[in-house]
């Protein structure tokens, strides 16, 4: 997108549900800092394509930072404190990440969000995330904060049943989606990414989702 239009979206809000909102451009000013941190994180915990319990390999590559990291293999989905590839703890969550996630949650009406997990997704053209619920966390009272960087994506947001109708909303560099409360378990996904390029990430989209995994 042209910078001219980028500025017009800054500060915009798209309500996806009663307690789900897109904060347009919310992460814009810290975006390059976040990407620099991601570059450091991936030197410790590399991006990888995980296997789903159903035997498929995910088109999205992922890594994590924070006390807990989301992983998937033939036995199922779960959070672990150790990276199964390196055998070491996931890299620490940078302070700036915590500050950004807390500020976005607060802006969306969720005060006192303290994430203990940050899942980092990397998409290239063709990569997608099929409709799913985020339900591997123990604490559904905390929201999820999702930061989009680089090339755009079309986000799908549905209901509590997989077959419920979905709404499609574009997510651009710097957009932050926050959702929780009554919307916390709604089905959502990312349509196949179209080839594109962005000055900060090249031909990639990077998405960070902040969660509270432990129940205390």
With respect to Fe ion, which residue has the nearer C-beta, 44 or 59? Answer: 59
Choose the contact partner of 105 out of Fe ion, ligand MD6, none; CB within 5 to 8 A by kind.
Answer: none
Residues 79, 215: contact at Cβ < 8 Å?
Answer: no
Restricted to residues 183-212, the positions that interact with ligand MD6 (CB under 6 A) are 188, 190, 207, 209
Q: 3-state SS of 56-80?
A: CECCCEEEEECCEEEEEECCEEEEE
Which residue, judged by CB position, is nearest to Fe ion in the bound state? 134
Q: Shortest Cβ distance from residue 197 to Fe ion (Å)?
A: 25
| Pairing mode, strands 117-123 and 205-211 | antiparallel
Choose the contact partner of 104 out of Fe ion, ligand MD6, none; CB within 5 to 8 A by kind.
Answer: none
| Pairing mode, strands 167-171 and 129-132 | unpaired
Residues 6+ apart with CB under 8 A from 75: 53
Question: Which of 83, 134, 175, 183 is in the footprint of ligand MD6 by CB under 6 A?
Answer: 134
d(CA 122, CA 11): 25
Question: What Rg value do the Cα atoms of the chain yield, rounded?
Answer: 16
27 membership: H or E segment, kind and range: none
Token pair recorded at residue 22:
């897109």
Question: Is residue 166 near ligand MD6 by the rule CB under 6 A?
Answer: no
Question: Which of 21, 31, 34, 144 is in the footprint of ligand MD6 by CB under 6 A?
Answer: 144
Token pair recorded at residue 202:
């090249």
With respect to Fe ion, which residue has the nearer C-beta, 100 or 145? Answer: 145
Question: Which of 108, 113, 116, 134 is in the footprint of Fe ion by CB under 5 A?
Answer: 134
Restricted to residues 168-187, the positions that interact with ligand MD6 (CB under 6 A) are 177, 179
Q: Which residues bind ligand MD6 (CB under 6 A)?
A: 121, 129, 134, 144, 146, 155, 177, 179, 188, 190, 207, 209
- Kindly list the residues in this chain that would bind Fe ion in the complex (CB under 5 A): 134
């Amino acid at each position: 997108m042209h910078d001219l239009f980028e500025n017009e979206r800054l500060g915009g809000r798209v309500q996806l549900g009663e307690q789900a909102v897109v904060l347009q451009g919310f992460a814009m000013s810290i975006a390059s800092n976040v990407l620099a941190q991601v570059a450091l994180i991936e030197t410790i915990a590399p991006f990888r394509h995980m296997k789903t319990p159903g035997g498929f390999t995910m088109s999205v590559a992922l890594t994590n930072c924070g006390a807990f990291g989301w992983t998937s293999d033939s036995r199922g989905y779960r959070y672990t404190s150790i990276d199964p590839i390196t055998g070491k703890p996931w890299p620490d969550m940078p302070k700036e990440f915590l500050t950004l996630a807390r500020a976005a949650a607060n802006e969306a009406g969720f005060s006192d969000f303290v994430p203990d997990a940050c899942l980092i997704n990397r998409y290239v053209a063709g990569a997608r995330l099929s409709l799913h619920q985020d339900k591997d966390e123990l604490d559904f009272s905390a929201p999820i904060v999702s930061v989009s960087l680089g090339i755009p994506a079309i986000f799908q947001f549905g209901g509590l049943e997989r077959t419920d109708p979905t709404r499609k909303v574009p997510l651009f560099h710097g957009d932050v989606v926050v959702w929780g409360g009554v919307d916390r378990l709604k089905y959502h996904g990312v349509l196949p990414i179209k080839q594109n390029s962005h000055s900060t990430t090249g031909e990639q989209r990077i998405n960070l989702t902040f969660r509270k995994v432990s129940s205390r």
